[in-house]
Amino acid sequence: MTHNEKSKRSGSGSTAVRRYLVAYNVLSALGWSYVFFMASKHLSGLTHQYRAVTPSASPVATSGLKRILGSIPYIKTSAPVTTQTPSQIPPMLLPVFDRAKSTFAAVGWQTAVVQSFAALEVVHSLLGWVRSPVLTTAMQVASRLILVWGIAERFEAARVNPIYTSMILAWSITEIIRYFFYAANRLQLEPRWLLWLRYNTFYVLYPLGAGSEAALIFSTLPSHRAWDTWDYGRAVMFLIWWPGLYIMYTYMIKQRRKVLGSRTSNHSKSMKVT
């Protein structure tokens, strides 16, 4: 194999590109770490700023453009909604549940900004800096951007839904692990604990994240008025979310077998040699 072929396979043709990708992955991991910390702090009750749910006052990342966007069809924000606490919630969990309804007010715009930087991953794939398929990467990034900009930003029902909290927690934990894992690979490091987290935590985090995404989309579908084009679009998204989860879930299972299986095999061979 030639040097150029090796560079292409590694997804990095120069030292500058490798350093950039390390920096990008580390900064992305830190960004999601911040989101996770702030969301956890909010849920724990250590901050009282957003303890009460006030739907009409929930800050959004596009609040500065609200007047302009409000005149564009299908971008108008929905009417304020009220939230109720289900009677099935155990009393000891009521404070956490109530705070979960205002997680968007605590970390919504930060999440939107951090997630938006993932659009650079499509550029990395297009330039051949990483081995990820362009179409797959674009679809994954687009689905997240739709959630933060097309769903949470527009619909109050999504912003005050406790499911938003489970989605953000699943996203942040997944991305912290993923980005630190990629950064370590670029530095030719492979901590066993990070490898284990990368190829085991998805068993729980993927269904939790994707299930929360689908539930959040479903919560925005109107029940007391005629549906418009965007409503039908969200309904279609809700339906295709589940086969999408299946595809990603089974793909990660195969990757787990491939990566962890090969390392187990190599370890066994080395033991035989010694």
Q: What is the DSSP string of the chain?
A: --HHHHHHHHT-SSHHHHHHHHHHHHHHHHHHHHHHHHHHHHHHTS--TT-S--GGG---TTGGGHHHHTTSTTTSPPPP------TTS-GGGHHHHHHHTTHHHHHHHHHHHHHHGGGHHHHHHHTTSS-S-HHHHHHHHHHHHIIIIIIITT-HHHHT-THHHHHHHHHHHHHHHHHHHHHHHHTT---HHHHHHHTTTHHHHHHHHHHHHHHHHHHTS-SSS---HHHHHHHHHHHHHHHHHHHHHHHHHHHHHHHHHHHHHHHHHHHHH-
* Cα–Cα distance, 250 to 244 (Å, whole number): 10
Of the residues 213, 232, 249, 251, only one is catalytic, namely: 213
End-to-end CA distance of the chain: 29
The residue length of the chain stands at: 274
Q: How far is CA 259 from CA 47, 116, 152, 252, in A?
A: 42, 29, 36, 10
213 is catalytic: yes
175 is catalytic: no
Asked whether the beta carbons of 39 and 169 are under 8 A apart, the reply is: yes
Tokens 């619909």, located at residue: 155
Of the residues 20, 34, 206, 249, only one is catalytic, namely: 206
Q: Return the active site residues.
A: 206, 213
